[in-house]
Amino acid sequence: MAASFPFVLNLVAGSAGLPEARARTIQSAARFAARLGDVDFLAPGRACDIPFDGDPDAVIASLRAVVEDEWLLDINIIPTANRRKKLLVADMDSTIIGCECIDELADMAGIKPQVSAITERAMRGELDFPSALRERVALLKGLNLEALARVYAERVRLNRGAKTLLATMRANGGRALLVSGGFTYFTQRVAADADFDENQGNILYDDGNALTGEVGEPILGREAKLNALEDAVSRFKLDFSDTLGVGDGANDLDMIGRSGLGVAYHAKPVVAQAAEAAISHGDLTGLLFLQGYRESEFALPPPN
């Protein structure tokens, strides 16, 4: 049904769920701004599409009077053409996993507040990312290498839906690239856990026992993430319209902006405002709903 309309109004629920009556309320409000199709539930009580033909800005404006904050709904307008993507390029920290690894290393060193403040400002776009990373890594000088293993074992957890996202895109012929401003020690392990095809990150230097306070150059940051996307498009002979980029911080902005579908995931305001779509309440399976997958089409992750 959606294929006969140029757009869908995609609704993905957070913890409050998506009752059918709520979806119908949104549909009724949007009728004043566009020609609509019927509500199509991708997952009962969790996600739906409302196909439409009209001005997307007018549709969003029509919802302001009826949608309430406590509904915890991610509402996005997605073009129906080429909706399912062939390449996922994802940030790691606070996107695929639920923490910032450098902040957790700083916690092991007893300096988390100092380092976290720099991280937060960098992710909001208030600081130059490479300089901010060098400053934070310098503060970790002397941290025993056992701390990296402890952070991975005790603090690093995949965000809900990560494995399902990767398994489903892979089952449908997609590839996935993990591109992080964090460190290869973690990207390699997280990529294996979530089943990414490739991973990139920054290199922490050590003397065999402890961190030296130095990081490999050039630092992988905002420009490098964009370059990784462009390189993958070229290598796999894709079009940018075939790509989905997702992240939460300012150094993800160029990657998100160049992707065919750029998604801000539980992101800083500067990213949420700039991205084409945002998942602020749902989990990572929201990226599948944005592509029009039904819950019944989700693939089972491979066993560990």
Contacts 24+ apart (CB under 8 A), 273-278: 276/76, 277/10, 277/76, 277/78, 278/74, 278/76
Q: Is 93 a catalytic residue?
A: yes
Q: Which of 38, 49, 55, 91 is catalytic?
A: 91
Output DSSP code: residue 161: T
Q: Is 91 a catalytic residue?
A: yes
Q: Cβ(49)–Cβ(40) under 8 Å?
A: yes
Work out the number of other CB atoms within 10 angstroms of the CB of residue 268. Answer: 21
What DSSP letter does each residue of 284-298 carry, written as one string? TTHHHHHTT--GGGP
Q: Which of 93, 103, 248, 252 is catalytic?
A: 93
Helix, strand or coil, per DSSP, at residue 60: helix
Q: Cβ(123)–Cβ(250) under 8 Å?
A: yes
Q: How far are the Cα atoms of 81, 193, 218, 277 from residue 74, in angstroms, in the given order?
A: 21, 27, 37, 9
Q: Which residues are catalytic?
A: 91, 93
